Amino acid sequence: MSNAILVINAGSSSLKFSVFRDHGDGDPVVTVNGQISGIGTQPVFEAKDAQRRPLADKSWGAGEAGDRTALLSYLLDWIEERLEGATLIAAGHRVVHGGVSHAAPVLLTPALMDELDALVPLAPLHQPHNLAAIRALAEAHPELPQVACFDTAFHRNQPWQAQTFAIPRELTEEGVRRYGFHGLSYEYIARRLPEIAPELGDSRVVVAHLGSGASMCAIHGGRSVDSTMGFTALDGLPMGTRCGTIDPGVLIYLMRKGMDAGAIEKMLYNKSGLLGVSGISNDMRTLLDSSDPHAQEAVELFCFRIAKETGALTASMGGVDALVFTAGIGERSAPVRTRVGDKLAWLGVEIDAAANLANATKISTPGSRLPVYVIPTDEERMIALHTRRVLTGR
């Protein structure tokens, strides 16, 4: 009999889920995936099978909108009806912040939940929703083991220079340090790249994870050695609504002008980035389609900063052997990749226009000094693999 693993990636208003079947050998295989969107307003449940065929949809009235326990209980019942003899052995969650002490996934306990609660201020856009889903699932199914897979874990063994801010040492010791995020995505890419390009071996790779949250990572020999995100998922690249790297003097200026922490947090997390610069949208597609000069400036700033960080991460590794694009924008936006590629001509990047337009796996020309890849990320698969390992030791 086979085992099944439920994978959950909970966001502010949506809960993405996948069910993996584990036959014991090879990677677990996804059988269904979907999401509950509109949590808090008008929840809608959608699911697809492995061939992307729609399986179900359901919506709820506003009265049940915020009851995550009831929504998860519905989801669990729905999944259990479709297990076809498999045993659901665990739920694996993406938990964005694991703090200093977690360099690997772990089985969730009430004591660990308290520890992870303390990290909510460090990831206000993600952590509360990750933990709410874990609590709701524990309430609906107390017997089901749950595993936390941290977005910070892959970066925890970076060299100390990459993890340290130049601030008084006591603060570093207290945990005010650079953590880095999107680790599950980078770990997946580090695992996948050698299958796609075995000749790269233990090489130096810059990976750009460009989704609604965006960051970049320097991976040397399969390990993270530097990343653009820091103490929080606000640092580094500008994102859909987040500012990215900013002179801390700006925060002092805003505080002196009378803004409190809550107002600054809201502005930097929710009103900045592509949305703040364009004044139009946080969605790259809308901006690329717009002729508004502010929309064009937002796109230009995004691409400029990706190119600039590529330089910084290349210096961190003493060179670079490949560049990889992944996540929503990275996997699907040929115009963004073209612009970044043009700005990296000095590194020997030459983008093949036709391959780029087709979102091909390799988008650089045969003559390009730096090979450039597009690799779809799969954070869910990484979570399923980690969850299986924690539960079964395999």
Ligand X SMILES: Nc1ncnc2c1ncn2[C@@H]1O[C@H](COP(=O)(O)OP(=O)(O)O)[C@@H](O)[C@H]1O
Ligand Y SMILES: CC(=O)OP(=O)(O)O
Q: Which residue is nearest to Mg ion (CB)?
A: 211
- Closer residue to ligand X, CB minimum distance, 265 or 283: 283
211 binds ligand X (CB under 6 A): yes
217 binds ligand X (CB under 6 A): no
> Using CB under 5 A, which residues numbered 42 to 71 contact Mg ion?
none
Cα–Cα–Cα angle for 4, 380, 334, rounded to 5 degrees = 145
Q: How many CA atoms lie within 13 A of 334 on its CB side?
A: 14
Q: Confirm whether 151 is a catalytic residue.
A: yes
- Cα 197 to Cα 74, 178, 279, 344: the distances in Å are 43, 30, 41, 21
Q: How many CA atoms lie within 13 A of 269 on its CB side?
A: 15
Binding residue for ligand X, selected from 27, 283, 292, 350, defined by CB under 6 A: 283
> Beta partners for 162?
none
22 binds ligand Y (CB under 6 A): no
- Closer residue to ligand X, CB minimum distance, 287 or 390: 287
130 binds ligand X (CB under 6 A): no
Tell me if residue 208 falls in helix, strand or coil. strand
330 binds Mg ion (CB under 5 A): no
182 binds ligand Y (CB under 6 A): yes
- Closer residue to ligand X, CB minimum distance, 204 or 242: 242
333 binds ligand X (CB under 6 A): yes
The partner in contact with residue 96, picked from ligand X, Mg ion, ligand Y, none with C-beta cut-offs of 5 to 8 angstroms by kind, is: ligand Y
Q: How many CA atoms lie within 13 A of 101 on its CB side?
A: 7
Binding pattern to ligand Y, positions 216-255, x when CB under 6 A? -----------------x----------------------
The angle that helices 68-80 and 127-140 make with each other, rounded to 10 degrees, is 60
Determine which one of 22, 151, 352, 378 is catalytic.
151
- Cα 373 to Cα 100, 236, 284, 313, 355: the distances in Å are 32, 22, 20, 17, 10
Q: Which residue is nearest to ligand Y (CB)?
A: 213
Task: Enter the tokens of residue 122.
Answer: 């460090």
2 marked as binding residue: no
211 binds Mg ion (CB under 5 A): yes
Look at residues 215, 213, 212, 193 and name the one whose alpha carbon lies nearest to residue 202.
Answer: 193
> Beta partners for 325?
208, 374
Binding residue for ligand Y, selected from 90, 96, 349, 372, defined by CB under 6 A: 96
Q: Which residues are annotated as a binding site for ATP?
A: 16, 209-213, 283-285
User: Which sequence positions are flagged as catalytic?
Assistant: 151
Q: Which residues are annotated as a binding site?
A: 9, 16, 94, 209-213, 283-285, 379
| Residues of the shown chain interacting with Mg ion in the complex, contacts defined by CB under 5 A | 211
